[in-house]
Amino acid sequence: MVIRTLTPLLAAALFVSACSDRSGTASIENNAEAMADALERKADNLEAMADAAANASAATMLDGMADNLDDQADNVRDLAEERAAPR
């Protein structure tokens, strides 16, 4: 649920940043880094919840969600690097 909500927002933010002139390169990288950091914090929270879960199925589900958020953070950083690279 969280990933479905964040992914379009992240893509839109990066698209808008990418449409700006070359001086916006630092902005793209800064925005992407902030978004990726936020995703990683959410993943850390889910991992903590998984560690505290009494139900093994719930813990597994939370760990999977955390892994997905970490992957999304990596994707955001990769996309920002691609957009910021000189053409």
pLDDT in tens, 63-80: 999 999 999 999 999 988
* Residue-number span of the structural domain to which 55 is assigned: 24-82
Give the pLDDT band of residue 10 (cuts 50, 70, 90).
low
1 is a domain residue: no
Identify whether 2 is part of a domain.
Answer: no
Statement: the pTM of the whole predicted model exceeds 0.75: no
Task: Say what the pLDDT of residue 13 is.
Answer: 64
DSSP 8-state symbol, 24: G
33 domain-assigned? yes
d(CA 60, CA 72): 18
Residue 52 lies in a domain: yes
10 in any annotated domain: no
Nearest to 48 by CA among 66, 27, 34, 74: 66
How many domains is the chain partitioned into structurally?
A: 1
Rounded CA-CA distance 36/51 in Å is: 22
Evaluate if residue 37 carries a pLDDT over 70: yes
What is the residue-averaged pLDDT of the chain? Answer: 83
Residue 9 lies in a domain: no
